[in-house]
Each structure stands twice: as structure tokens, then as C-alpha cells.
Amino acid sequence: MHESIHLDDGSRVAIVGGGPAGSFTAYFLREICDRVGIEVDVDIFEAKDFSKPGPAGCNHCGGIVSESLVQMLASEGIILPDAVVQRGIQAYVLHSGPATVKITPPVNEKRIAAIYRGAGPLAPGGPVRQGLDPHLLRLAERKGAQLINRKVHVIDRDSSGKILLQCGQDRFGPYDFLVGAGGLSEATKAQFEKCLGHPVRHKTTRALIYELYLGEQAVDHFLDHSMHVFLQTFKGLEFAAIIPKGEYATVCLVGDDPGKEMADTFLASQEVTRLLPPDLDIYKRVCACKPLLNLKTLDKPYADRVALVGDSGVTRLYKDGIGAAYRLAKSLAVTAVFQGVSAHDFDNFYWKKCRQIQKDNGYGEIIFNLGEGVIKRVSPLRYGILRTVKNEQQKPGRKRFMSMAMWDTFTGSAPYKDIIKRMLRPGVASRVVFQSLVSLFAPPPRGENNDSVRRAWQALQGRREDSHPR
Ligand SMILES: Cc1cc2nc3c(=O)[nH]c(=O)nc-3n(C[C@H](O)[C@H](O)[C@H](O)COP(=O)(O)OP(=O)(O)OC[C@H]3O[C@@H](n4cnc5c(N)ncnc54)[C@H](O)[C@@H]3O)c2cc1C
């Protein structure tokens, strides 16, 4: 017989970590408690000052908010303000060797936002931006959660099993329920594990993020409202993307311990030099960080009165980590208020939602292993897929199955299982086979002529210099 532990009037909840997972959990806990008429205090502990530019005030990531998340937030009445959205992304451009293919969605309601997580790049004199994380924290505060801008150093339990926190010399608690939303911080994870009474192992990989300063006009001209994805084949690099944001380009590399050497090789490659302004100094990187990416969570992330969420718990493989944080934060809040906060309650409700994401990650692994092991290595197949996408893009209508499979793979907007189903539709698979055979003889598909984009830019620069005689 399992005893449930319930949140009642006067219960106290501590959330350690004020990234998306922590803010969304606080938001939904307060929202649901208000609706059912329970008075529960929610304290969010966050170590960072999100008004500081650069890595110190940022939860490092590519900064793409998927369209499925934009839509889910809109249905909750949460609209991302213009000041938070650094650029709306309307297309994805795939680059591979000489080939370039642009994918636009067949229906216009698909909207993706490129955001900064904190105050933006560490650029002396640069503007301080409104990041997503402080925006979500403010939404949680407006719902009645209390933000405590402190780092939690120690987490313990009292004799009745309730939670005690320590920030420096100051003690907080006891709390009836602890939400662990500290991302992949090792020190914080050790405290969560002590409180859980068992380890929560994660499989992770390193990423490298750079901000390049282009200026707003050059971003408009060269990158437009597109995210650029590179199907590179050089050793160690698994994924590379360039994302336009304001007057910067965010360069995001995932691979085998990516460092300066990998970034230099990537930025000097033909695909990238063709894309970026010819006069850009690629070595002038204004901001850089090397965050960890959660690939897999190997243990159940909960015990009585404690549950981990977001990157500390379970997340989506490679894509839409913020969207996964939203979905699981909501599920955790619903479980805590309507079922209880015992391990048994989490097992029966919250864990089912975590498992859905984990199962789908299994399909994601198939897609990414196929991409890494076969598609990237076999150029006729790679060009065959790009050619299929290009042909579909020239036709009107919704039957762009391969395009949508690629779009959803890179935007993270649909479950991986659905993407596989779309790729395996008989008509689609046979078209890819046919176009791969064509690719054995025909040159790779080329997109927009980059030379003309560069010539137009040089003409624009020339005109500007003429109108500003020194
Ligand atoms: C290279 C890269 C690119 C990515 N790109 C995208 C993308 O484009 N779109 C997307 O949706 N996802 C992306 N992700 C994934 C996304 O960043 C994460 O899934 C998401 O940030 C998880 O949110 P979180 O709240 O769980 O953790 P985090 O965002 O890491 O937040 C954890 C918070 O806890 C705080 N904290 C930790 N320990 C303590 C403590 N002891 N006391 C107080 N506070 C503490 C930290 O300061 C931090 O604010 C990317 C990840 C990486 C690495």
C-alpha cells in the first residue's frame, strides 16, 4: 500500500533552477492551485543574473523556439513579445558541399522564434537584450511565485522527510515538495541525487556556441529569415547551424568535443564562406560558450517529495529542449496538484509523460544515426534527398512529405515517430531512390546564386561609401 503525499493549503514548494523548466513548473503549479483554490507558496531559486550580458547571464543554447511551442504557449495566452524574439524564422536552408536547398513550410501559420536566453552577447557597448529565461521567470512571478536570486549550495531532508535548502549561510524551508530544475550543473545534480537517494545518470555531449557580429543589414542580406543547417562531413562534427539574431549570427556546433580548431575549419569551409559576407572577420567572435547537451536520462528522476524536470530530468533528443521542458513541467504540476508528490504518484502519472518522450527519442536515434552513418557519408543519397526536397518546394500544396520530414527534424516541431512515418511513405521513398540514382550523374542541386547575393551586397556597400564621402 503506497501512501500519497498531498499539497494542501499552506504547503510550500521549492524550485531549484529558474530556466524554462523551473519557470514553467512554477507557472503551472500556481495557475492550477489558483484554479482549484489551494494556497501553495512557490519559491524559485535561481543563481544567475539574467541582466548580465554574455555567458554569465545566459543559459547557453541555439535559441530556437519551435513552432509547436509557440503555438502551445499561444493557447495558454502566452505570446512572446517582440523584444524577446530576435528574429522570426520562416525557412530552413540546408547546405551540403556545393548544394543548397531552401525549405519553407507549406502553411504560413508555422512560426519559429530565434531568441537569446539571457541579455545577449558579451559585446562591449552592445545593447542589453530581453532574454527568454527572464521573461518566463517574470510570467511565473506574475502568477504569484517568489523569485529568490540565490544559488542553492546544500539540499537536505528533515526528520519528517521534508526538504531543507541552504544558500551560503542562509537556510530555507522546510518545503513539502522540491522541483529539481538545475539543468546539467554537476554540483546541483549531486545535491538532487543526495535528496533522491539514488543517482540520475545522463548521457551528454558537448556543444560549442559562438556569436559572430555581422550588423543588422548584413544579417538581412546574407542570412535573411532563415536558419542555415550544414550537412558537413568532416571528422567529429555531428551538427552545425547558423541562426540569425538581431545583428549577430549564432554559430552552433555539436560534435566530438568541439573546440576552436573545429570552429575554424567549419567557418573556413566553402559552404560557410559562400554564405557569409566576404569582408567578415570570422576570427572576431564576440561571445563563446561550451554547454552540455542531454542525450539520454538513464534513471527515474524522482522520489517522495522530489522530482526533477527539464534537462535535470528527461528531455527531447537534440531538438526542442525548451518545448520538452514546457510539456513535462506542465505534467509535473498537474501530477503534484491532482495526484500527489510521492514517488508512487510520479510513477503513475508524471513518468508516463517522460516515457512518451523517451520512447520517441528512440525513433529520433534512428533518424540521427541514419543521418550520421549513411546520409552524410553517401553523397548520391544525400543529394538525392536534397533534390527530392527541392522538387517538392517548387510545387504548390501540402504534399511535400520529404520537405516536411526535414523541416520537422531540424525544427523539432513534430514527434520523431511521425517524421519516420512521413519518410517511409511509399511515394516518398521511391522518389528519393530515383533522385539518388539521378545524382550519380547530375550535378548537386544548387539554390539561390550566392555570387549575385554578394555582388548586390558589394554594390550596396559601394553606394553607401559614395554617399558618405570622407
Ligand atoms: C548547444 C545547445 C543548443 C540548444 N539549442 C536549443 C534550441 O535551439 N531550442 C531548444 O528548445 N532547446 C535547445 N537546447 C536545449 C535547451 O537549452 C535545454 O533543453 C533547456 O535549456 C532546458 O531547460 P532547463 O530549465 O531544464 O535547464 P537550464 O536552461 O540549464 O536552466 C537551469 C537553471 O538552473 C539554475 N541553477 C542550476 N543550479 C542551481 C543552484 N544550485 N541554485 C540556483 N540555481 C541553479 C541555472 O543557473 C539555470 O538558470 C540546446 C542545448 C544546447 C546545449
Domain ranges of the chain: 12-63+128-201+298-362, 88-123+204-293
Question: What span, in angstroms and rounded, lies between the C-alpha atoms of 467 and 380?
Answer: 49
- Give the list of residues 6+ apart from residue 362 with CB closer than 8 angstroms, or none: none
Residue 15: per-residue pLDDT? 98
Ligand 1 within 6 A of 185 CB?
yes
The pLDDT tens digits for 378-421 are 888 988 999 998 888 887 766 788 888 888 888 888 899 999 99
Total Cβ atoms within 10 A of residue 77: 6
Q: State if residue 44 touches ligand 1 by the CB under 6 angstroms criterion.
A: no
Band (pLDDT 50/70/90 cuts) for residue 469 is very low
Give the DSSP per-residue string, 301-367. -EETTEEE-GGGS---SSS-HHHHHHHHHHHHHHHHHHT-SSHHHHHHTHHHHHHHHHHHHHHHHHH
pLDDT greater than 50 at residue 237: yes
Q: Does residue 255 register a pLDDT over 50?
A: yes
- Which H or E run contains 429? helix 426-439
Question: What would the pLDDT profile of 424-456 be if each residue is shown by its tens digit?
Answer: 888 888 898 899 998 898 888 776 656 777 777
Please determine, for residue 339, whether its predicted confidence score (pLDDT) is greater than 70. yes
pLDDT of residue 468: 52
189 lines ligand 1 (CB under 6 A): no
> Of all atoms in ligand 1, which is nearest to the CA of residue 66?
11
Same fold, 12-63+128-201+298-362 and 88-123+204-293: no
- What confidence score (pLDDT) does residue 242 get? 96
Q: Cα–Cα distance between 101 and 33 in angstroms, integer?
A: 48
C-alpha of 392 from chain center: 28
In degrees and rounded to multiples of 5, residue 2 shows phi and psi of -100, 135
- Furthest-apart CA atoms within the chain: distance in Å: 84
- Is the model more confident about 172 or about 288? 172
Question: Quick one: 12-63+128-201+298-362 is in which CATH superfamily?
Answer: FAD/NAD(P)-binding domain (3.50.50.60)
Is residue 245 lining ligand 1, measured as CB closer than 6 Å?
A: no
What single-letter amino acid sits at 342?
S
Give the Å distance between the CA of 184 and the centre of ligand 1.
Answer: 7
| CB of 46 sitting under 6 A from ligand 1 | yes
The verdict on the CB of residue 48 being under 6 Å from ligand 1 is yes
Q: How far is ligand 1, taken at its centre, from the CA of residue 183, in Å? A: 5
Peptide bond into 174 cis (omega under 30): yes
What CATH number does domain 88-123+204-293 carry, 3.30.9, 3.30.160, 2.60.34, 1.20.5? 3.30.9
- Reported pTM: 0.94
Is residue 210 in contact with ligand 1, taking CB distance under 6 Å?
A: no
Per-residue pLDDT reduced to its tens digit, 166-200: 999 999 989 999 999 999 999 999 999 999 999 99
Q: DSSP string of 160-198?
A: TS-EEEEETTEEEEEESEEEE--TT-HHHHHHHHHHHTS
Residue 3 CA to residue 107 CA, distance in Å, equals 50
Name residue 210's beta-bridge partners.
Answer: 251, 288
Q: Ligand 1 pocket check: which of 311, 317, 319, 413 to mutate, most ligand atoms within 8 Å of Cβ?
A: 311
Q: What residues are paired with 14 via a beta bridge? A: 43, 178
